Amino acid sequence: MAHWQTLRSRIAYENPWIRVREDAVLRPDGQPGTYGVVEVRSPAVFVVPVTEADEVVLIDVQRYTVGRSLEVPAGGTDGEDTLVAACRELREETGLAADSLVDLGPVHSLNGVSNAPGQVVLATGLHRVDGAEQTVEGITGLRTVPLTELPGLLASGQITDNESLAALLLALVRLGRVR
């Protein structure tokens, strides 16, 4: 089976968070083409906070790109260790800290057009702390959802963020709710 071949690359745009690369390629069928790739400069972390009452804490956020979105707390690692970044993002976006953080593994976002790696972290033993920065983040509120109600929330299309969907699925598998 033939593979993609990169003939040339040029940086079309970059800022502190992303770089857009345009590549001249040979496609798997041997034909020439152009491929645009968004490279995320810092891997992301997606945190699934689960309460003692078996509920997941989600953020209600206004995104510049899509408007209102219900998501798990997340953000760039900014060069930090995954679990350190998970603690920071959880505090900033929810005002919570966790007694236990478990790395559930990698995810990749929009892998047809980007190189945007991330890690999913399960957070338990939650308690309130200072340091929330919800206004800066565009977060309009928190929503606590019983894990038993999560499938209905997903089926109704109330969560459309792919990273959140993947993170929730990985957490449900880890918690033994999906096999």
- The domain ranges of the chain are 5-40, 44-174
Instruction: Output the pLDDT for position 134.
Output: 80
Instruction: Output the pLDDT for position 2.
Output: 79
**Residues whose CB falls within 8 Å of the CB of residue 4, separated by 6 or more in sequence, listed in order:** 25, 26, 27, 28, 35
Rounded Cα distance between 137 and 130, Å, is: 16
- Which pairing describes strands 18-26 and 5-14: parallel, antiparallel, or unpaired? antiparallel
Q: pLDDT tens digits for the chain (179 residues)?
A: 679 999 999 999 999 999 999 999 999 999 999 999 999 999 999 999 999 999 999 999 999 889 999 999 999 998 899 999 999 999 999 999 999 999 999 999 888 899 999 999 999 999 999 888 888 788 999 999 999 999 899 899 999 999 999 999 999 999 998 87
Cα 149 to Cα 54, 56, 154: the distances in Å are 11, 10, 9
pTM of the model: 0.91
Tell me which CATH homologous superfamily contains domain 44-174. Nucleoside Triphosphate Pyrophosphohydrolase (3.90.79.10)
Residue at 167: amino acid letter = A
Rounded to a whole number, what is the distance in angstroms from the first to the last CA of the chain?
33
Query: Could you identify the residue written with the tokens 């702390």?
Result: 129
